[in-house]
Homo-oligomer: A and B are copies of this chain.
Amino acid sequence: MRKVKVGFQGELGAFSQEAVGQLLGDRAAVVPCPRFEDVFRALDQGDTGASVIPIENTLAGSVHENYDHLLHFDVRIVAETNVRIVHNLMAPPEVRFRDIRRVYSHPVALNQCLDFFRKNPRIEKVPFYDTAGSAKMVMDEKLPDAAAIASTVAASIYGARILRRSIEDDRQNFTRFFLLNKTRRVLPPPRPVKVWKTSLVFTTRNIPGALFRGLSAFALRDLNLTKIESRPLRGKPWEYLFYVDFEGREEDPVARKALGHLAELADFMRVLGSYPRG
């Protein structure tokens, strides 16, 4: 089987790589990229066949930068998946828990393990650019008193030993990821789909009640909105783009009518993709 090149942001072992595995299994050949913009550009230029990006986390909220990229690059959302974020404390095999004085990880991950740091006040939090990158670094540098917080996959890739599993404060910690394509060729394996979702972006005319009227296109047809996100509209201070997810498939007659209705009311509208609920 020919593998598909799939871009994601971060080092090998990032949570995005777990999402790639959930979506495409061993059909994917992962391509780590330094920045989200690089992930989008690689797909846009045909260097990769698909991209996987985080779009929101149940604790930290939306990844706003990726909402902006979805507007600026001509790509389609073809699938979504949710990854439970499990933070593990890991170090080189020779480091014992009682020797640890510093723990490296991405600031968001450090802030999701505050109970652990409260219970171990001798251990200092050290912000690092990436969770998996922090696992790689403590292994490369062989620091005798340092550990990292990262995923199970990162531990196995870099040969780190997990000293404490699942040290996150809140188990309700999920990140939602999108699979992006230029065309619709790279899809997850087919499975029976109960519920479809559609993502779109629009701007309203600058008149009172404009957002309410826009949302009426869905509400009057009993189409369930699952998410609304706003981003500033460049060049028009204090005006906004709205990103909406609703339950329905672009090709369905009711959804088509709702999208036509919204297009009538909106200044601008673009469908970003339809995909099975994750």
Spell out A's residues near B (CB within 8 Å).
56-62, 64, 170, 172, 174, 176, 208-209, 211-213, 215-216, 218-219, 222-232, 234-238, 240
User: Contact between B211 and A225 (Cβ–Cβ < 8 Å)?
Assistant: yes
Assembled-state Cα–Cα distance A170/B236 (Å): 11
**Inter-chain pairs besides A58-B234, A59-B234, 17 sampled, C-beta below 8 Å:** A58-B237, A59-B232, A64-B64, A170-B234, A172-B237, A174-B237, A176-B238, A208-B223, A208-B225, A209-B219, A209-B224, A209-B225, A211-B225, A211-B228, A212-B219, A229-B230, A230-B230
Nearest chain B CB to A202 CB, angstrom units = 13
Assembled-state Cα–Cα distance A229/B60 (Å): 14
Assembled-state Cα–Cα distance A235/B216 (Å): 29
This chain: copies in complex: 2
- Chain B hits for A57, CB < 8 A: 232
User: Contact between A212 and B208 (Cβ–Cβ < 8 Å)?
Assistant: no
- Chain B hits for A61, CB < 8 A: 64, 231-232
Nearest chain B CB to A198 CB, angstrom units = 15
